[in-house]
A and B are shown apart, each in its own frame.
Chain A
Amino acid sequence: MDPILSSARDEEAGALAATGSSREVILRVERLGYAYLPGRFAIRNLEFEVGRGEVFGLLGRNGAGKTTTVRVLTTLLPPTEGTAILFGKDLRRCGRSERARLGVVLQAESLDFVSVERNLTLYAFLWGVPREVAKSRAEEMLELFELGEVRGRKPWGLSGGERRRFQVARELMHEMELLFLDEPTVGLDALTRKRILEYLARRARHGLSIIFTTHILQEADLLCHRIGVLQNGRLRAHGPPAEIKRKYRGARTVEAEFERALTAPEQHDLLAVLTREGRGFVPAAVDDSSIVFRADNAEDLVAAISRWAHGLDLEVERISVREATLEEAFVNLVTDDASSDPAGRAELA
């Protein structure tokens, strides 16, 4: 995880939490639902808020409802139940003036049949950006998104990664207060992803709110102040990444190393203690002087190892519990839901 990006994010998350009621909410989603056929809901009962300068990540498996949520919130689809309050106005009554404050990078590639550079300036023209501003901003975007060398090429002649960069770059040609990014980093290499995420984090620090859907959970962990996990069209969990990880972390990995090699009876005894006191205990690797295992109650077992070692007058040289990643929490969350909610989407109807 990028330490600079994540620490900046964590500081902001703290600041956002600290401001409490003074936080300016620019989007409040209230029991929002969309049915593509009567009774067949793609999303249902969604509830979350996005504050100014906040990055909200929407996570979920394919078909979970992320893109539908973005399409409803950008007024491309009308909600069939519930609503959202966007910039203080009911979503159903939002029009040009509210949409003029949005930026939208859709999952589907959109382009005009002119060069990359002309696409940028033409799009700026559509948004009423003055010509001189558009020209200088296009230069900035071409450089930032490393599109300078292909500025004269038509977008369909670009590689997949270049096209995705072009999509994001084009949307950033105009001013906005809330940016929707539907899987903006698909097909991008790690360095480019990092560059774009850093840029977005910087924009968020200057007050841009972002709703971001992704399959790459590390990205969400890096960038988002809060995340929501969609499963079968419902929001199963939402909150800061740290809270989601803590709540749904499941089993964690513990590594312990002793000052000397354990005898076979000692190893046997240690495993017996851990099996008795552990919940979901699964040994991963046991050798003469160390043990690696996974367990749901990792902290309890750390204490149990210390007590056991103390009883033998054995010194524990190193013991650590690896923090759960967002990916692990996500897998636990959606796996739990899948097993407890086998009806899946049909249950929504």
Chain B
Amino acid sequence: MKVPPVLRLVVRNFVANLDPITLLVMFGQPAFLIVILGTMFNQLIGTVGASGSYIAFLVPGMIASQMITGAVLAGRVFWLDRRWAMVEQIFSGPYLRAEYLAALLLTALLFSLVGVGIMVLVALPLVGIPGLTPVELGVILGTIALGSLFFGGLLIAIGGRIRSANLYFTIQSLLQYFLIFISTVYYPVSGKTPAVLRAIVYANPLTYAANTVRDAFTHRFGPGDLVAGAILASLAAVAFGLAVASFRTLELGPVQ
């Protein structure tokens, strides 16, 4: 059977480059947070909006944040490919740059979905099985897909312009923590939240993703979520455009 080039690259991305320890840390950390943070804060916090318990509030947020985990892993594959000259090796073979980029984004998406699966499995004993309708499930997966495309595209665009591993991983960590912590993944935004912080939180695409996933979990999906989805889709399109531009002018050759 002839495997299409993009899928060949995706398989290769999964098989190569990523060691089990990295995967364990990347997926283990949010799972650990659900268990420890969720359990501990559950004792302190009574109810959080429509979610009920804090842990029920946290789980959809952590699921939404998997779009970042997937994108970070794909960005890491891209950077390691640059560092170890595999980008050049692949580009000198029977592949198009567009296919390599598509494979990276697909890798980000698949990693995100793997992360979602792991978070759901970890959360099951703590919050039970959420009774999601097919539409709500579709909304969650669609949101994760758009988020992966946005953050993956952004990291690939940045990774294509930088020639130093130190700088790339510093920027990536900074973005990752900034986006996760200044969002509604861990805590809600209310009228008591300082205005500046509230503005930053609402400028963060992860907030839209977390709120949408949370609304789907609490069966409160509405027009506001459609707007959030449209904003996320627009941002994903912009990030994709940036990644394409970065790839078009990608300077091959040694990086530090």
Which A residues lie at the B interface, using CB under 8 A?
A: 71, 74-77, 95-97, 99-100, 102, 104, 106, 108-114, 118-119, 122, 125-128
Chain B hits for A102, CB < 8 A: 92-93
With A113-B80, A122-B12 as given contacts, are A128 and B3 in contact (CB-CB < 8 Å)? yes
Which residues of B are found within 8 Å of A96, using beta-carbon distances? 5, 94-96
Q: Does B91 contact A (CB under 8 A)?
A: yes
Q: Is the CB of A126 within 8 A of B9?
A: yes
A184-B225 Cα distance, complex, nearest whole Å: 57
Chain B residues engaging chain A, CB cutoff 8 angstroms: 2-3, 5, 8-9, 11-12, 15-19, 80, 84-86, 88-96, 252-254
> Do B88 and A122 have beta carbons less than 8 Å apart?
no
Pick 5 A–B contacts, CB within 8 A, sort by A. A74-B92, A104-B92, A110-B88, A111-B84, A113-B18
The reply to whether A128 and B16 form a contact with Cβ atoms under 8 Å apart is: no
What B residues does A114 contact at CB under 8 A? 15-16
Cβ of B3: which chain A residues have Cβ within 8 Å of it?
128
CB distance from A5 to the nearest CB of B (A): 28
Chain B residues lying within 8 Å of A77, measured Cβ to Cβ, are: 252
B94 contact set on A, CB distance < 8 A: 96-97, 99-100, 127-128
Please indicate the chain A residues that have their CB under 8 angstroms from the CB of B85 in the complex: 106, 108-110
| Shortest Cβ distance from residue A100 to the other chain B in the assembled complex, whole angstroms | 4
Collect the chain B residues with CB atoms within 8 Å of residue A111's CB: 84, 86
Q: Provide the bound-state CA to CA distance between A102 and B89, in Å.
A: 11
A119 neighbours in B (Cβ, 8 Å)? 16
B-side contacts of A75, CB under 8 Å: 91-92
A residues in contact with B12, CB < 8 Å? 112, 122, 125-126
Residues of A within 8 A of B252 (CB): 71, 76-77
CB of A279 to closest CB in B, whole Å: 46
Give complex CA distance A10, B252 in Å.
38
Given contacts A75-B92, A76-B252, A96-B95, contact A109 B84 (CB under 8 A): yes
Most chain A C-beta atoms within 10 Å of own C-beta, residue among B3, B16, B19, B253: B16
Provide the bound-state CA to CA distance between A102 and B94, in Å.
9
Q: How far is the CB of A242 from chain B (nearest CB, A)?
A: 32
Out of B8, B17, B88, name the residue touching A106 (CB < 8 Å): B88
A109 to B88 CA separation, bound complex (whole angstroms): 10
In the assembled complex, how far is the CB of residue A115 from the closest CB belonging to chain B, in whole angstroms?
11
Rounded to whole Å, the gap between the CB of A121 and the closest CB of chain B is 10
Q: A96-B94, A96-B95, A113-B17 are in contact. Are A128 and B88 (CB under 8 A)?
A: no
Tell me how far the C-beta of B253 lies from the nearest C-beta in chain A, rounded to whole angstroms.
8
Chain A residues, Cβ within 8 Å of B253: 108
B16–A100 CB distance below 8 A:
no
Asked if residues A113 and B19 are in contact (CB atoms below 8 Å), the reply is yes
Is the Cβ of A112 less than 8 Å from the Cβ of B91? no
Complex-state Cα separation, A114 to B96, whole angstroms:
24
Cα A51 to Cα B86 with chains together (Å): 29
Q: Contacts A106-B85, A109-B84 known; A128 to B8 CB distance under 8 Å?
A: yes
A274 to chain B minimum Cβ distance, whole angstroms, is: 53
* A99: contacting residue among B8, B92, B254, CB under 8 A: B92
Interfacial chain A residues near B91, Cβ < 8 Å: 75-76
A104 B89 Cβ-Cβ under 8 A: yes
Nearest B residue to A73, CB-CB? B92
B224 → chain A closest CB, angstroms? 43
Most buried by A among B2, B8, B92, B252: B92
Q: Flag if B16 contacts A122 (CB, 8 Å).
A: yes
Which chain A residues border B2 with CB–CB below 8 Å?
A: 128
Q: Which one of A74, A106, A122, A127 lies within 8 Å of B15 (CB-CB)?
A: A122
Min distance, Cβ A130 to any Cβ of chain B, angstroms: 10
Q: Given the known A-B contacts A100-B94, A106-B89, A112-B17, are A126 and B84 also in contact in the complex, defined by CB atoms under 8 Å?
A: no
